[in-house]
Amino acid sequence: MRDTGVYIGDTDDTASSSLDKLTHAYAYGGVGLMINTINRNFGLDIQRFVMLDFNSSSDVIDLVGGVTIDVTADEVKYANNCIAEEASLLGIDPPFITSGGTQTLSGVQAIGWSRIRYLDSDFVRTSRQRTVATALITSVRGMSRIDQLAMVEDSAGMFETNMQTLDLARIGANGVATSGNIDEYRVPEDNLYRVQDNPWMMIVDMDQQVPLLHQYIWG
């Protein structure tokens, strides 16, 4: 969760630093500081990355012809508010969602839907973002291997990464091939955090959370 309280950076000197929101690490120092912060707080050793923001995610979704999403009637109004904001930044006419139901959303529509935050909660918003990511993987899985490789080539420059094109193609192909059974996990788990009001932050019991995260990743 973006509001998880963490120590920013890659030093172990917690005595000279205070908790801050995980989301701030990227704002302070980009993807490098974000990865260092994740590694430090969660006992990981992430080295390679692919980073997509709202705009690059939208471009990749359009590249595969959109994603299939079940939009509820209550979500339409709130999604369209986000779509209007995104379209204004891009200088395009907003491609509003006209009704609820299962439908193929364009990149701007899908990202707008995933950004809804005033209808329910941030927990539900992150679930929408995972739904869009899963739908994107599903769309790619339905493509031929040739089309998948072409998509990797066509998407070059759309997102930030420290990986070579061949590595992206290999890892992407392996991931898509085994993506029929996607398992999700959220940090922090329920009952492993308390809410700090000022500033609003999730104070996590890391002594319990980190081993559970490692168990989920490695078994």
CA angle 94, 23, 27 (to 5 degrees): 80
Q: Scan for tokens 């059974």, then name that residue.
A: 181
Q: Scan for tokens 């302070």, then name that residue.
A: 28
CA angle 134, 113, 58 (to 5 degrees): 65
Instruction: Give the pair of three-digit tokens for residue 166.
Output: 């061949």
Give dist(CA 100, CA 23) in Å, integer: 31
Sign of CA dihedral 142, 147, 148, 152: negative
Residue 137: per-residue pLDDT: 87
Q: What is the pLDDT of residues 47-86, one digit of tens each?
A: 999 888 878 889 999 999 999 999 999 999 999 999 999 9
Hey, which bits of 14-173 come out as E strands? 20-21, 50-51, 67-71, 101-105, 160-161
Residue 143: per-residue pLDDT: 86
Residue 13: per-residue pLDDT: 56
Residue 132: per-residue pLDDT: 94
Q: State the average pLDDT over residues 118-124.
A: 81
Q: Is the pTM of this model over 0.85?
A: no
Query: What's 194's DSSP letter?
Result: E
- Tell me the CA distances in angstroms from 65 to 62, 143, 151, 209, one per residue in order: 5, 11, 11, 38
Q: Determine contact, residues 33/217, Cβ cutoff 8 Å.
A: no
Instruction: Give the pair of three-digit tokens for residue 210.
Output: 């980190």
Residue 11: per-residue pLDDT: 64
Q: What is the pLDDT of residues 146-203, one digit of tens each?
A: 888 888 888 878 888 999 888 888 887 777 777 777 888 899 999 999 999 999 999 9
Region label for 96, one of left (φ > 0), alpha (ψ between -120 and 50) or beta (otherwise): beta
Query: What is the C-alpha end-to-end distance of the chain, expressed in Å?
Result: 22
Give dist(CA 168, CA 70) in Å, integer: 29
